[in-house]
Amino acid sequence: MKTRITELFEIEHPIIQGGMHYVGFAELAAAVSNAGGLGIITALTQKTAEDLGKEIEKCISLTNKPFGVNLTFLPSVAAPDMPAYVKVIIDSGVKIVETAGRSPEQVLPYFKDAGIKVIHKCTSIRHSLKAQSIGCDAVSVDGFECGGHPGEDDIPNMILLPRAADELEIPFVASGGMADARSLVASLAMGADGMNMGTRFMATKEAPIHERVKEAIVAATELDTRLIMRPLRNTERVLKNPTVDLVLAKEKELGQDIKIDDIIDEVAGVYPRVMLEGKVDSGAWSCGMVAGLINDIPSFKELINQIMLEADYLIRKRLEQMLSA
């Protein structure tokens, strides 16, 4: 399939694996890229910029296909050394960067001077237009359905994607609620040039996370996510568990007086325990409503090939037959 995104990033299929904390390791990124999509290493999962450099080198050894690095600018308990991470990304020869969170305006000139293509994840049209105006090559339009941080506007993709198509000139991909060929074809119909999947890629054979995490996603329905940290205006969609229930109880009790310190034990530093040790109830971890569409744990190749085969059928057969009926 040929779209503006496949041409921009020189990939076979218009499918991107978004950055995910303690999920986006070299093994994941390389496997997605080898299957024809665009794999992404999550920079801040690596404790230091030097560690990130080693992870990039590892990915290079695992694939000769294009891959990218995610760099997220969000409030954190311990601020990372962003200039060092930026330098390592550039020095390592990476040619694609996915940015997220706050505007990448300060680091964008360094990436552009190095010939790096930047796709910025946005949860609103205004932020997408800002990304376009500062020189981002593409945007990932992230609907309210997404796992992780959906922003504060609560606009789902059935509205957000057509609005993005109306306003943007640069290519964009749909993110949030993406799981299969139906997701891809619907996104293309609404003006996107591809799709970004996160939660769906977690429930795959090669995903470098604990099996209990994958099993929890498969067992979940679309009703099993919750929104936390809304009073802090740092909303995160997470999979429901006893720890998440505790966070919500604290938010209800403390109301607008709640501070991040009140829930720090439940939301900070939990990803190694969850993703690597499989202690799925030990903290709040990101998961999209798309869990309701995930019923198996295929390989990356099986997943991407199935998506593209079914997308071809939907476009050439089902929709075309409706026109000729």
Asked whether the predicted pLDDT for residue 8 surpasses 80, the reply is yes
4-208: CATH number: 3.20.20.70
Provide the whole-model pTM: 0.95
User: What is the pLDDT of the chain when averaged over all its residues?
Assistant: 96
> 170 or 321, which is more confident?
170
Q: Where are the domains of the chain?
A: 4-208, 211-290
Count of other CB atoms within 10 angstroms of residue 289: 23
Is 35 strand, coil or helix?
coil
- Spell out the alpha helix ranges (H) of 173-282: 181-189, 199-202, 211-219, 242-254, 264-267, 271
What pLDDT, on the 0 to 100 scale, is given for residue 323?
A: 86
Asked whether the predicted pLDDT for residue 19 surpasses 70, the reply is yes
